[in-house]
Amino acid sequence: MPENNPTPGAAPIVGTPELEVELEEPAVTTADVTTRGELVPVYLLAMHLPSADLIADDYTEADGRVVRRIKEWQNYDVAREIENLRRSIYRRVERAWCMVKEFGIWVTVSEEGVKEAERLMREVRDTLQKIGLGDVAHRYFVRAVRVYLEPSDAKMLLDAAVLQLSAEVEELERRIKDAETARSKRQLMRKKEYVKALLDIFKRYIEEVSR
């Protein structure tokens, strides 16, 4: 068998010296590490609510169109209960949470917001049980999820919430001045109260985590 000698005239290759490679761990300075104590905790809202579509089905019309309708006429009361539940949940959520449109998420920084989410979770389950849909109640939830953000990320999120709530307070003040009836004025004033209270909570929290 011919020797392994790819280069004419070269000496046969009898072996290859072993190379020793020592891998070094990349150096990590204390400036590169954010400890748990330096992260900023906030709560995000995870929410999946039932809708009237839960008791709807697809039907084919005479002209071939497929439409989605409530399954049976007696279920219209159930559909109404479900939609009333959704509206009620959203009304109560916005009193303790801010939907930060720039980020597309519900955020709170208060324990009261967390407790309200727990109460709403029970209300969703209890309502579905009451209207005979307890077997699907486990699919739906309202949960506060605690997350820890880098200080710079938290600042962007919380500042966006403050700017949005401040603008909402100003808009409500304008609408209160222009209100045509005493009733609408009272409703707007009540809404302004809880929006202002939520704004103050975010402002205080920013001051607290900035110290």
CB 169 within 8 A of CB 199: yes
Residues in CB range of 79: below 8 A, 6 or more apart: 52, 55, 56, 70
CB 51 within 8 A of CB 86: yes
- Domain locations in the chain? 40-209
What is the pLDDT, as a whole number, of residue 98? 98
CB 128 within 8 A of CB 50: yes
User: Which residue's entry shows tokens 């110290």?
Assistant: 211
What is the pLDDT, as a whole number, of residue 70? 66
Q: Which residues of the chain have pLDDT under 50?
A: 1-19, 21, 23, 25-26, 28-33
Please report which helix (H) or strand (E) contains residue 105, including its range: strand 105-108
Q: How far apart are CA 70 and CA 57, in angstroms?
A: 6
Q: Answer yes or no: pTM beyond 0.85.
A: no
DSSP state of 64: S
Phi-psi sector, 48: left (phi>0), alpha (psi -120 to 50), beta: beta
What is the pLDDT, as a whole number, of residue 15? 47
What is the pLDDT, as a whole number, of residue 94? 95
Half-sphere exposure of 9 (CA within 13 A, CB side): 0
Residues in CB range of 80: below 8 A, 6 or more apart: none
Residues in CB range of 53: below 8 A, 6 or more apart: 68
